[in-house]
Structure 1
């Protein structure tokens, strides 16, 4: 099985305040074939710094049934070292979801790049706050409605 571009993401929930509204948003991109969740692990750190780890099979029935359609074809690619790194970076009294996912939308593009003997040599996800700040610093650069460049 050849995977498309793969990315990991850690989403922290300070104060263990996980709310279910991310599930429908995640389901939408999975159902539309934009991404495929490869692995999913939940990490929780209590106020004393004790860490517990849960996989889908460890979740309570309601939570497991909410996430199950999103992670139909999961693997166990996330290793103990990955989980340890997450537990090191999250704050006490917080929880985190560690996702490993495939960018299905980019598979064809990736293959075209490889067939052209191209190689991605740099890349970085730019945080929303930085993009918003850049756009605010350059008012008029993008039209609000269409997103096209102003002349």
Structure 2
């Protein structure tokens, strides 16, 4: 089995107030075949700094039922060390969802690049804040140069 590009993401919810608002958006990209969830782990840190780890099967029934269709192919690939690293940077009294997912959308492109004897030599995810700053700066620069935005 050949996977497309794989990425992990750690999403923190301060105050241990995860209410499931991300589920519809996540469901949309999974159902559309844009991503496939490979692993999903939840980590909770109380206000004393005590950490508990939960797999999908460990969640309360309503939460487990909401996530189950999204992670039906999930396996346990995150190592204990991964969870430890995440718990070290988490704020007290917060929860995180630790996602490992495949970019299914990129598989055809990857195969085309490989068929053309191409290879990826660099890549980086650019944080939203940097993109926003660049977009905010660009129109001002164009106006200063006398170009139309």
Q: TM-score, normalised by structure 1?
A: 0.89
Residue 141 of structure 1, CA deviation: 8.4
* SS of alignment partner, residue 41 of structure 2: strand
CA distance in 2, matches of 1:19, 1:130: 28
Q: Which residue is equivalent to 1:118? A: 118
Unaligned runs of 5+ in 1: 143-149
**1:135, 1:141 within 8 Å by CA — same for their partners in 2?**
no
User: Cα deviations across residues 1-55 of structure 1 (Å, max 9, x unaligned)?
Assistant: 2211110000011111212210000000000000000000001111111110000
Partners of 1:76 and 1:107 in 2: CA distance: 22
What corresponds to 2:130 in structure 1?
130
Of structures 1 and 2, the larger Rg is shown by: 2
Q: What does residue 102 of structure 1 align with?
A: 102
Gap regions ≥5 residues in structure 2? 143-147
| Number of the residue aligned with 1:15 | 15
- How far off is 1:114 after superposition? 2.0
| Deviations, residues 30-85 of structure 1 (Å, cap 9, x unaligned) | 00000000000001111111110000000010000000010011111111111111
> In angstroms, what is the RMSD of aligned CA positions?
1.7
> The residue matched to 1:77 in structure 2 has which SS?
coil
Which has the larger displacement, 27-36 or 79-88?
79-88
CA distance in 2 between partners of 1:55 and 1:112 (Å): 36
Alpha-carbon offset, residue 140 of structure 1: 7.0
